[in-house]
A and B are shown apart, each in its own frame.
Chain A
Amino acid sequence: MEHIVIIGNGISGVTAARHIRKNSDKKITIISAETKHFFSRTALMYIYMGHMKYEHTKPYEDWFWEKNRIALKQGFVKTVDTDNKTLHFQEGDSVTYDKLIIATGSKPNKFGWPGQDLKGAQGLYSKQDVDNLEIYAPNNKVCKRAVIVGGGLIGIELAEMLNSRNIPVTFLVRETSFWNGVLPEGESQMINRHIKNHHIDLRLNTNLKEIVADENGNVKSIIIEETGEEIACNVVGLTAGVTPNIDFLKTSKIELGRGVLVNRFLETNIPDVYAIGDCAEQHKAIGNRRPIEAVWYTGRMMGETLAQTICGNKREYKPGHWFNSAKFLDIEYQTYGWVFGSRGKPEYEKHFHWKHEDDTKCITVAYHKDTNLFLGINTFGIRMRHETFDTWLTQKRDVAYVINHLAEANFDPELYSHYETAIQTAFNNQFQTA
């Protein structure tokens, strides 16, 4: 029986395994160094905040794996020998495979800051990171202040986490406004204000120079590049993005770029070796997507696709329309299609922006300035229906159509106030005067 070995038990590896099991009888082994069972990385924050316990973050009960004949092995793969189709573990043992799927995810970026490996300086990626946080930031007596470096999606989650335990937070963001490499200005600024309303000390245009140690090798303070200001703190969260977690492959024959290089079939340069999820890098980016897509659902989709290939129904990775979502403290964010911030915005892309006066809800609709083609939407504080936008994007609707039919796409809970009329009025006003 063919033995499929998957390194990494995150969403991409597990999805691949599940679908291979559905379509075949192959022997499947999933390897992970992190936790025995698959858990939801996106839920790490809720463990620290006490909304859930670790066990609640496991999407499948523990009996699931045996019932579906998916073997789980805990261990760290140190080297991959593709000539002999063998994996060697740090622990000394080894495993042979017929087909290998690399799904090893990411690791937090560290840009060589002095002090970045001190006790109390850490990223937020793994279960171990949350365990460490529990040691260095259990409460505001042990951790009198925390500094977060890097204003992205993980940074703001970490800020929310620490805030939930009343630990004062200073949030260093390199950009002129929160996440404005991705978000258009109006949205980004609304989030700036929301962060401050949560009493988080947001410092824009601010870089980390170094992390200072105390006599025991613990974090004592940080120094800011621009001003030289020293901020006393006990924990430093390093959340300036992630990179593929592929150091263990450097000695192998597998071709690497920033990630494991794959073609559209998710194949590497070595036969029978594939890569999916955060660690995979497309030779050439697909559409407006990045060559490395470090989001949950793309990992899942790559797993869904690759399982077909492995089971004899060869398929290209052909993702549909882009979408994503996140939550900034209390404000939910969803996006469908493409809306660019000032960085990377194509010259044909124009925006219509509407914001509610309570400063917690807004939308930005992107459209083509010549054809009025609807390109995408960002919504904050209003839930939208994925299916509806997916259909509109496929049908290539124009912006006026989308604005006039927004009510059909509304996905807010029943009895919520609706804003479609206000949005339409604003849109019409803007277009008459413009």
Chain B
Amino acid sequence: MSNKLNHSMSLAKPDALDISNKQKIALAIGVIGLFILALALLNTNFPNKALFLTLALGCISLGIIGYARGAYLNKLEGIKNDGVWFKSISSRGVWGWIVGVILTTFYIVLYFFPKYLGLATDGEANTGLISLFDPLSKLLSGRAASQWFVYGTLYTVAILAFGYKFILKYRHNRYQQVRTVSVMFFQLGFAFLIPEFMYVMNNDLPYYDLKSMWPLNYYIFDEWSVNGFLSNGTIGLALLLFGIISIFVISPILTYKYGKRWYCSWVCGCGGLAETAGDSFRQLSSKKMSAWKLERWLIHTVLVFSVVMTTAMIYTYLGYDSNDFWLTRGVFIALVIGFLTLLFTAVLYFKGKEFGKDAKYGAIGFFATIALLLILHFTGTTDNVFFIKAGTLRSTYGIYIGSIFSGVIGTGFYPILGNRSWCRFGCPMAAVLGFQQRLFSKFRITTNGGQCISCGNCSNSCEMGIDVRAYAQKGENIVRSSCVGCGICSAVCPRGVLKLENDSMQGRINPTEILLGNDVDLMDYVNKN
């Protein structure tokens, strides 16, 4: 009968979406680049490392760029989502799982077994993959490469090349283009180049990516880090102060004006990777109510953990005696508790009504944190907190949250859980910004009266798993703490229903029963009830 059965196994995978020859060539070039890296990993000793590194990174970039051009440039401008749920890689098919496993393995090796990447031990020279990156590292900062340098380089290449792809995909949408140029800029400049140059200027300074702020940058207030800053005179002190001001002053102002998007989808490196390399996986995030519930517990638990952990870290290196330094352990704990209490009462006082049902959970979080801090204070000894070594607490956080959650699961599982599972379920920074976005920001996504046709494109494309449609079909603005303001829901909406905007706080949250377009008397009657 139909010859279709022969080459397509299922109805859900139409085979008409083949890629063009141009794209096949681009893929081949990209694979050559990856192959060079694989050879290096297997300890092939390349004669001219600089040349081969250039070749590898060049081929990978060219491959991605060529593929993107083949995919988008021969079509008219518009939404390019054809077949995303048919393609194996973007619909949790075999390729999706393969890529997921490879990425996850890479992260595990990177975090826990860097020696397999060729990291030198005891002052010897690097070997393997890491040694391939030595020439670039030497060029930038004069030192040999580390596994983090390799990672940073690949990360940056990915954001730049896939950023280019993203810009082509959305070449009708200026918001998407500008935003992408912004993440490309911050990754290349702030995360990659500037720290290397800072090292050249002053090699005692701790690695500091200026845009990465506490609590995402969870080690900034560690003893070694703070000592590193403080032992470096004015510049060190300035940097440390900048770190404190970023989270307590700059971030609240920007979040008030623009929502958390100013950080999450314009500046942040994790967000940058998610928006570019991770773009093909955004539809995989779960929109179920159950996922939302899990999200709220998980992300706030991580936040509590990171607040307590950071406090504990600082606590351990403070003294008892105010004669040595005014900031003693007691004073410090009191300050932290005072600050949190002030924050909590202020929120309840000003925003208690909007907070509504969530106030209960807020209170649980608040009192849990305070209780933990008090226990900390009364059980803390010179180097023990909660009866365990402070360092253990810190390294537990580092391993489980900093490495496993953000890297292994957050990025490794892109093709399975979607591109923002870290941002959604784990990032304490996102929790802080989201909290503010929900309660004290001008940002919202406005829905356009009665125009929604409930098609679901918006929800499907939301990388944060927000069921955008649930709001849009009720004519209700979207004011959600997790929204990173990527604007894709607005871009894909076929009826022009969604607009990201900053406007007054009044009427920002507008639950309605009956939408615009129906009898005005009926609307008044029902919506007032």
Give residues in A with beta carbon < 8 Å to B.
11, 19, 22, 40, 42-43, 46, 49-53, 56-59, 61, 134-135, 138-142, 164-167, 197-198, 296-297, 300-301, 304-305, 308, 313, 315-321, 323, 325-327, 329-330, 332, 334, 383-387, 390, 411-417
Contact = CB atoms under 8 A, between A and B. Distances in A.
A141 B6 CA distance: 12
3 tightest Cβ-Cβ pairs between the two chains A and B: A386-B449, A330-B78, A139-B16
Nearest to A389: B449
Interface residues of B, number: 66
Interface majority SS (helix, strand, loop, mixed), chain A: loop
Given A51-B82, A330-B77, A413 B516 contact: no
A101 B457 CA distance: 30
Contact of A414 (B453, B470, B500): B500
Interface string B490-526: 1110111001110000000000011111111110011
A156 to B, nearest CB: 12
Given A57-B456, A387-B516, A165 B17 contact: yes
B76 A390 contact: no
B78 A59 contact: no
Interface in B1-40: 2-4, 8, 11-12, 14-17
Given A142-B2, A334-B451, A315 B519 contact: yes
Nearest to A317: B519
B448 A386 contact: yes
Contacts of B175: 413-416
Contact of B456 (A59, A138, A297, A412): A59
B85 interface: yes
A415 B178 contact: yes
B306 interface: no
A56 B513 CA distance: 23
Contacts, number: 196
Given A57-B455, A59-B454, A138 B14 contact: yes
B500 A413 contact: yes
Contacts of B15: 138-139
Nearest to B501: A414
B499 A411 contact: yes
B460 interface: yes
B518 A50 contact: no
Given A43-B456, A296-B453, A386-B449, A320 B4 contact: no
Given A330-B79, A411-B448, A413-B491, A318 B517 contact: no
B81 A49 contact: yes
Contacts of A46: 455-457
A332 B517 contact: no
A50 B87 CA distance: 9
19 contacts: A40-B453, A43-B454, A46-B455, A50-B81, A50-B85, A51-B81, A138-B4, A138-B11, A164-B82, A301-B518, A318-B521, A320-B516, A320-B517, A323-B451, A323-B517, A390-B449, A411-B496, A413-B173, A417-B174
B522 A61 contact: no
B454 A56 contact: no
Contacts of A165: 14, 16-17
Contact of B454 (A40, A50, A308, A386): A40
Given A386-B449, A413-B487, A320 B520 contact: yes
Interface of B: 2-4, 8, 11-12, 14-17, 76-79, 81-87, 172-175, 178, 283, 288-289, 446, 448-451, 453-457, 459-460, 469-470, 473, 487, 490-492, 494-496, 499-501, 513-522, 525-526
Contacts of A300: 450, 515
B522 A305 contact: yes
A387 B507 CA distance: 14
Contacts of A297: 450-451, 453, 515, 517
A390 B522 CA distance: 16
Nearest to A162: B16
With most chain A CB atoms within 10 A of its CB, the pick from B78, B446, B501 is B78
Given A22-B513, A167-B16, A411-B496, A49 B521 contact: no
B455 A315 contact: no
A374 B212 CA distance: 52
Contacts of A164: 82-83
A309 B225 CA distance: 69
